[in-house]
Amino acid sequence: MSTQNTAPAAHALSASTRMQHHRRYLMCRPEHFTVSYTINPWMVPANPTDTAVAVRQWQTLYDTYLALGHEVELIDPVEGLPDMVYTANGGFVIDGVAYGPKFRFQERAGEAGPFIDWFRAYGFDTRVPVEVNEGEGDFLLVGDTILAGTGFRSTGDSHREVGEVFGREVISLSLTDPRFYHLDTALTVLDPVEGVADGGPERANIAYLPAAFDARSQAILAERYPDAIHVSDEDGAVFGLNSASDGRNVLISPRAKGFERQLRDRGYNPVLIDLSELLLGGGGIKCCTLELRGATS
């Protein structure tokens, strides 16, 4: 059987047949955004940043989620914690259980407390981690499975811990390119929930940059997701994969031209959001977005 992912006939769903799923997200307005230290190759403190531009671009993302009908909660930004805007790293939430973060670098350690406090205040069943992990930056839920990244930030031990917390299958994937230091910079979940589309069952699907993973991880991904979209190095390098999907609308960087076409071919609706200022901190759309699954406000 062919596993190539270029045949449009196999994916001839029109935009209207992809099902949109409602989302609840946590975001943090980048009022204190700057790049004052380097913990990933994108961060160059000597390059100027413009906080007002960061806020404006972030606002567009926030407004777009609301316009699409999603809910967005906000956590207060803390002065001196410029990376707090990247809320994906603030935890991992499924069924109202919030597994907190334990940051790899001292520069971000101060964020763990505010995120845990926020989850508690909003009624989540909060789990304080023992192991180093950077939340949804490295843990992505695909159907019932947790894909877990390691190599730069979250440790392999955190993969065991996240599996114990949520009682789900965890698949460890190793990242090898320092530009793609979190799993959500190299892989995106297009259909987070298994569902029904076009009258038939819809398998949860992903898109990823094969070159960001070691050979073992590439083999696992190829076997489990034969229909996955393989994104080009060019689109990966502009953080095209750092995107957020509701099953139908996929928010991506306007610079990821090839990925935009691939999404359209598969019947998704790409929505272009420019977060170039936040890329100076090594983050994009997904980094600024933490999904809150299964709890009520």
Which residues sit at the interface with ligand ARG, rule CB under 6 A? 39-40, 43, 83, 86, 88-89, 108, 137, 182, 184-185, 281-283, 287
CB 254 within 8 A of CB 274: yes
In the bound complex, what is the minimum distance in angstroms from residue 182's beta carbon to ligand ARG? 4
Closest to ligand ARG by CB, 5 or 134: 134
In the bound complex, what is the minimum distance in angstroms from residue 135's beta carbon to ligand ARG? 8
From 21, 182, 230, 288, the catalytic residue: 182
Closest to ligand ARG by CB, 70 or 108: 108
Sign of torsion over alpha carbons 201, 185, 237, 175: negative
In the bound complex, what is the minimum distance in angstroms from residue 192's beta carbon to ligand ARG? 16
The partner residues of 197 in beta bridges, in order of sequence, read 200
Closest to ligand ARG by CB, 101 or 267: 101
CA neighbor of 117 nearest in space, from 139, 146, 84 = 84
Pairing of strands 206-208, 229-230: parallel
Catalytic annotation present for 22: no
Going by the DSSP 8-state scheme, the letter that residue 216 receives in this structure is H
Catalytic annotation present for 287: yes
In the bound complex, what is the minimum distance in angstroms from residue 86's beta carbon to ligand ARG? 4
Closest to ligand ARG by CB, 5 or 99: 99
- The type of residue at 151 is G
From 28, 70, 287, 288, the catalytic residue: 287
The residue ranges of DSSP E strands in 175-296, in sequence order, are 187-189, 195-197, 200-202, 206-208, 229-230, 244-245, 249-252, 269-272, 290-291
Positions marked active-site: 182, 287
